[in-house]
Homo-oligomer: A and B are copies of this chain.
Amino acid sequence: MVSNLKRLLIGRPLKSTELGEQKLTKTKALAILSSDALSSVAYGPEQILIVLMTIGAVAFWYSIPIAIGVLILLMALILSYRQIIFAYPQGGGAYVVSKENLGIKPGLIAGGSLLVDYILTVAVSVSAGTDAITSAFPALHGYNVLIATLFVIILTILNLRGVTESASVLAYPVYLFVLALFILIGVGLYKIITGDVSPNLATPIGTPVAGLSLFILLKAFASGSSALTGVEAISNAIPNFKEPAPNNAAKTLFAMGTILALLFSGIVCLAYFYGISPREEVTVVSQIAEAIFGRNVIYFFIQGTTALILILAANTGYSAFPLLAVNLANDKFIPRMFTIRGDRLGYSNGIIILGLSSIILIFAFNGQTEHLIPLYAVGVFIPFTLSQTGMMVKWIRERPMGWMPKLAINSLGALISFVVTIVFFLTKFPQVWPVLVFLPIIIFFFYQIKNHYDSIGEQLRIAESIENTPIEGNIIIVPVAGITKVVENSLNYAKSLSPNQIIAVNVSFERDAEKKLEEKWKRWQPDVRLVTLHSHYRSIIQPLTKFIDTIENKAGEANYRVTVIIPQFILKKGWHNVLHNQSSILIRTILLHRKNVIITTVPYRLKK
């Protein structure tokens, strides 16, 4: 039944050879991997205006030069990641690039912060999308956590079904969102050009602003840069692309960069020319849309697709997290289970862990995950900085043809990313300090896990030189509770293995029962020695382990092994298990962990 439900939700299992068919075309990849980056234009420009408003509306014209700065950073990042795609066609991403060029520690810093960041991506974007929906339908207000959890579950199932299938479902909303914003920007600019909009709305560019400091400008720039989170997703996911993967990935990255640049600058321009101020209850995009269209169908189309893409932005996390986890697991820094492909060839364990972790975050913050946004942005810019510094080192070391312009691009990217990171720490320390606590803890665990795996590998390796002495024989202990078919069955098996070394052991609580059993036993199994252990404290385990100790000591001297044969009832109906004490299971577990014995379970199948 469980298995049928699984089939229904995620579909039939796929053969390993069907892996190729699960790869992404460029159109689908763009939809599935860029939703995070594209969705951030819904709030990035607003972030700039919110910072500038602390000075006054007169400072709003600075959003234009700041946006240009963000675009330069975007360009540097796109060009830089394009270079990473070709340099690391197996799926680069900050972890691999930093590890190879800067060393393991920087790699783990990048990997660790991205790993946590993808969980934050899912929690934050799903919560944001849910907020948008419950704002539209106030009746749903009290149910934010529930709705967000439901969305996470749906995304998890879609991703367990496999990337191509989820891409098909998720592509429409992404392209509809892009279409909606292009209509908005197109019509808006047309109205400005045709003079439909009063030019008095905006402060002219170049107006001197009192009280504006470099600090404020940097803060506005850093806030605007949060629109660039998600840019790295494509370079992590190259293995998911159709062949030739690097070329397809590079083209998709370029397309995403172009769309992102157009949308971002379009929104910033419209906000400036229409004289929009950020307001608590209405988003900037919503204000622009209302100013251009009024509250008609197109307005609601724009709002609807925006809400949808905020939720879908979470999908970037689902594409990137499992692949990053595979890289870390292959290097033994996280549990090996992340490298196993599930029924549908996706890395199911990564997908499930991501879903569960983000649901926990949503519950922990009661759906109010916007407090986590600065943390999330820092978690992106640290690996940005590291990976681009890594690329700088790579160019300087390898000096391939035309390395100078490549170095320049990465250096510019590294510098701006570094500045943004520092500005985040300076301006939003109360929100971002946890990074400084959690990153070291995560990296500590990475090393612990690595050490464990290395030590296990060492212990399991077979040293060719050491002679391996064969086992001389086996002593078989059969715990018996009475004279039944179960005991007969176990004894028959024991006799077939080692007819002369069988000891039946009875742990008894009552003297009368002891004697009766011993007498009956002599008649029934005269060849098998029966040892009776009287238990004063009515415990079965204690006398049994003591007895095994003495047997083990003798056996060890002669290089004999001790095997304990434990019968286990296999009952027809599950609920029948409460009717049997199944002390066999307890005995098995305790002996296996505490004593150096081999445990053989002989099933006894009941027919009724």
Q: Is the CB of B608 within 8 A of A602?
A: no
Question: Within the complex, which residue of B15, B336, B561 is in contact with A493, where a contact is CB–CB below 8 Å?
Answer: B561
| Stretch of A32-40, A194-202, A280-288, A591-599 on the interface side | A591-599
Q: How far is the CA of A496 from the CA of B474 in the complex (A)?
A: 7
Contacts A459-B607, A462-B488 given: A449-B579 contact, CB under 8 Å?
yes
Q: Is the CB of B579 within 8 A of A592?
A: no
Q: Is the CB of A593 within 8 A of B570?
A: yes
Q: How far is the CA of A14 from the CA of B536 in the complex (A)?
A: 8
Q: Is the CB of B509 within 8 A of A492?
A: no
Chain A at the B interface: SS class: mixed
Residue of B nearest to A457 (CB): B484
**Does A337 reach chain B (CB closer than 8 Å)?**
yes
Nearest CB in chain B: distance from A2 CB, A: 13
Q: Is the CB of A538 within 8 A of B16?
A: yes
Q: Is the CB of B592 within 8 A of A598?
A: no
Q: Is the CB of A462 within 8 A of B485?
A: yes
Q: Is the CB of B592 within 8 A of A603?
A: yes
Q: Is the CB of A337 within 8 A of B581?
A: yes
Question: Within the complex, which residue of B16, B462, B486 is in contact with A484, where a contact is CB–CB below 8 Å?
Answer: B462
Residue of B nearest to A570 (CB): B593
Q: Which of A504-552 contact B (CB under 8 A)?
A: 509-510, 536-539
Nearest CB in chain B: distance from A486 CB, A: 6
Q: How far is the CA of A585 from the CA of B455 in the complex (A)?
A: 22
Quick one: CB contact mask for A318-340 with B, threshold 8 Å, 1 for yes?
A: 00000000000000000111001
Q: Which of A575-608 contact B (CB under 8 A)?
A: 576, 578-581, 588, 592-593, 596-603, 605-608
**Does A461 reach chain B (CB closer than 8 Å)?**
yes
Q: Which residues of B contact A493 (CB under 8 A)?
A: 471, 561, 598
Q: Is the CB of B485 within 8 A of A459?
A: yes
Question: Within the complex, which residue of B16, B497, B509, B596 is in contact with A605, where a contact is CB–CB below 8 Å?
Answer: B596
Q: How far is the CA of A601 from the CA of B605 in the complex (A)?
A: 19
How many chain copies? 2
Nearest CB in chain B: distance from A107 CB, A: 20
Nearest CB in chain B: distance from A345 CB, A: 8
Q: Which of A19-41 contact B (CB under 8 A)?
A: none
**Does A277 reach chain B (CB closer than 8 Å)?**
no
Quick one: CB contact mask for A477-491 with B, threshold 8 Å, 1 for yes?
A: 000000111101000
Q: Is the CB of A600 within 8 A of B599?
A: yes
Nearest CB in chain B: distance from A338 CB, A: 11
Nearest CB in chain B: distance from A405 CB, A: 41
Residue of B nearest to A455 (CB): B608
Q: How far is the CA of A600 from the CA of B603 in the complex (A)?
A: 11
Question: Within the complex, which residue of B452, B473, B601 is in contact with A601, where a contact is CB–CB below 8 Å?
Answer: B601
Quick one: CB contact mask for A567-579 with B, threshold 8 Å, 1 for yes?
A: 0101000001011
Q: Is the CB of A496 within 8 A of B561?
A: yes
Most buried by B among A343, A473, A474, A484: A484
Other than A16-B536, A459-B606, A462-B483, give 14 A-B pairs with Cβ distance below 8 A.
A16-B538, A335-B579, A336-B581, A341-B538, A452-B576, A452-B579, A459-B607, A468-B488, A470-B495, A474-B496, A474-B497, A570-B592, A588-B601, A592-B603
The list of the 5 closest CB pairs from A to B, nearest first, reads A471-B496, A460-B484, A600-B600, A15-B536, A13-B537
**A-B contact list, 9 entries, CB within 8 Å:** A13-B537, A449-B579, A452-B576, A453-B579, A471-B495, A473-B496, A474-B497, A563-B600, A598-B602
